[in-house]
Amino acid sequence: MGAAAKLVSINPSNGQVLGEVESSTTDQLVAAVTAARKAFPAWRALGAEGRVKILQKLFNDFNAHKDELLQLMAKEMGWPIAHAARTFDAPQDRLKWNIENAARLLAPETTMETDKQLHQVHYEPWGVYAVIAPWNSPLSNFSLTALQPLVAGNTVVYKASEEVPLFGKALNESFKRAGVPDGVFGQVFGGPDIGEALMHSDIDHIHFTGSTAVGKKLYQIAAERFLPITLELGGSDAGLVFEDADIDRMIGPIFWEKFLNTGQICSSLKRLFVHESRYEELITKLKAFIATQKIGDPLDKSTAMGPLVSEKQKKLLADQLQDAIGQGAKVLLDERDKLPKQGCYFEPVLLGGVTKQMRAGCEELFGPVLPIATFKTDDEAVRMANDTQYGLSAYIYTQDKGRAKRVASQLQAGSISHNGVGYFQSPNPFGGYKHSGMGRSNGQVGLRTCCQVKTVSTEKI
């Protein structure tokens, strides 16, 4: 891989350099994996209760440095700080759930017992987990990808996105201050080359969150090496607004389910289908709501939408939008006059007339561009929602509970929200159908995904 290069952290709101981190060399990667392998037996031997006690110290350190971490997320990737603060407690809740449930869920489970025999299932850690995490919500991404592998007794070698290297550095410092044993958690820094090298190293399980294209490549590597893999990939999540929806009450949830973090969330609402009888009303009210939301400096607590993470992401979204407009899509809302004069800002766009032939109709839109179309019947709405390679999440807006239940059963997605009820709760598994991934994180299902399953059948003496 040659000499170590520098990862330059750039503030997307103003283009200023925040700092640099050296990319890892091949030797450093090997050293991190070797240290993880060495630390694994002792970490496993602590048991779930011993491990969560140590991890609680780590999360205590996160809390002690909350302001510093929030400032870093706002500066390095553009999270509006007020909204980043509201998501800060989710990783703490995730840890609390695992503290309360891990020992029970990882204990041997009796499947059959007679007067002469005992049959039990044991949940044992895989070994060394290789985790590649994205940039869009650094602390939450850490807790979704690395926390449960650590709780289950695995050691972790972690690669944060090259877009947020300073957050990765801060994560290392928290582990050190918390006194987590050496080798239990190690990091490598770099781009796709170091990530691929990690996949070919001495690891036992792969966990990747990111694009479907990269996920497919890693799936091939895992198949060649016969390694288990967990993939949380892209999404083109549909929202369905039925004719009986309470639009006045739902307009806020619709906005935030799309535009939170400036639309840079894997499971955000990315296509909106509205019953034809409510289309004009929804467009009018959504435009009015958007007009009240401030676009600007992510360090300003009144900001609702900050910049995109980078010029690269801004160009990708602009190309997708222009492709749609060039093929006849209609811009229903254009807020360019509200944008700051510098930085990677992108206006919120409502887009009509999008077809499957357009990039905006078949690719993931990772930013504040929302295609909107109409439907006539429930069956048509479901067909439109499922007409995608993705299946991460979906959103239903109706006051009819029976309809909500029926439609949810027909949608090809891993998580369904009804009337703004958030599915990102600590006991709930998270992951997608189709090309949105395989396997699950979070909750009981996620914790046991982090384990080998062993059946032990013994004679009772």
Catalytic residue annotation: 232, 266
**Amino acid in position 327:** Q
Cβ contact 175:123 at 8 Å? no
- Cα–Cα distances (Å) from 417 to 257, 267, 270, 414, 423, in that order, read 10, 11, 14, 10, 6
Tokens coding 290:
């958007």
- Tracing tokens 């944060």 back to the chain, one arrives at 160
d(CA 367, CA 347): 9
Tokens coding 459:
């004679």
Phi (first) and psi of residue 7, to 5 degrees? -95, 115
Burial 20-38 (b: 16+ CB within 10 A, else e): ebebbbeebbeebbbbbbe
- Residue 13 burial (CB < 10 Å; 0-12/13-18/19+)? buried
The torsion of the CA quartet 81, 363, 205, 69, rounded to 10 degrees, works out to -10
Cβ contact 127:153 at 8 Å? no
d(CA 219, CA 186): 23
d(CA 129, CA 204): 6
d(CA 439, CA 208): 11
Cβ contact 232:441 at 8 Å? yes
For 183, the 3-state DSSP assignment is coil
